[in-house]
Amino acid sequence: MRKAGILFNARITDAEILAQTLAKKLEQSSVSAWICPASDEAKAKEQLAGTEMILSLGGDGTMLRTARLVASEAIPIVGVNLGNLGFMTELSDQEVLDKIPRFLKGEGWNDERAMLQVELPSPAGPSMFHALNDVVVGRGAIVRLIRVKASVNGQPITTYKADGVIVATATGSTGYSLAAGGPILFPNAEEFLLTPITSHLGLTAALVLSSEAVVELEVQTAHEARVSIDGQVEFPLSSGDTIKIKRSPYTTRLLRIQPQSFFYHTLLEKLGGKER
């Protein structure tokens, strides 16, 4: 390995100090390292060329931002948890200095995750984004239900009368979709979910959709609605706007060193219910 990047959450105390410590350790192993706040996406993108591994220092939010940044380059990500839940991260801040040399030796395996591609309406033509967790079409500041007409592969399914609708990947199935009553998918599944948020009458159950499905969500509302991508990128929507969502051509590659059966242990540990 010749070049690695370190993206850190600048809002977390000591994250930048750990980033600098890791950069020095990498350089001692003859690996060129660059450091950048995860929020400075433009600066980070300038340094991606030739990068063979990304260290993401923060929590799940930092991992989501990192995944979107590097998706088109297919760069493996090692997540270091400095946050609270850390469901997607691989190492703690206490482990990273000891275990990074193992990755440099080629140990570990790629945990490949499906992503979503979302097309948003805009005056200049559709804008395209990618998400690792989910895309949410929901109400705006006014606390009233909105109507969302949902179609799959051109076939109308239902018109939800709800706070909103979530389209979630397998990775996102343990997040907002789970809180809204959706099922948990195995993390490497390519299928994705269509989950209503507090739906009033009509279809209330989440749907598991084929990896080849194309979902269209048309907003019908007399007041503001919004679309949220991974809970980090948001845009207002007007009545009649249609969002198109399908599986992304990109995937997120999470570099791991723990056993491949880690998911079930992590699920119980992070979400509760672990047997004693």
Q: Active-site residue numbers?
A: 60
The token pair that represents 236 in the structure block: 């207002």
Per DSSP (E only), the strands in the chain are 3-8, 32-37, 53-58, 77-81, 91-92, 109-120, 127-131, 134-139, 146-152, 155-162, 164-168, 192-197, 207-209, 214-220, 225-229, 233-237, 242-256
Q: Which residues pair with 147 in a beta bridge?
A: 161, 220
d(CA 34, CA 7): 9
Counted residue by residue, the chain has a size of: 276
Which amino acid, 178? L
The token pair that represents 144 in the structure block: 């009233």
The token pair that represents 139 in the structure block: 């109400």
**Which residue intervals of the chain are DSSP H helices?**
15-28, 41-46, 60-70, 96-104, 176-179, 262-271
DSSP state of 174: G
d(CA 96, CA 220): 48
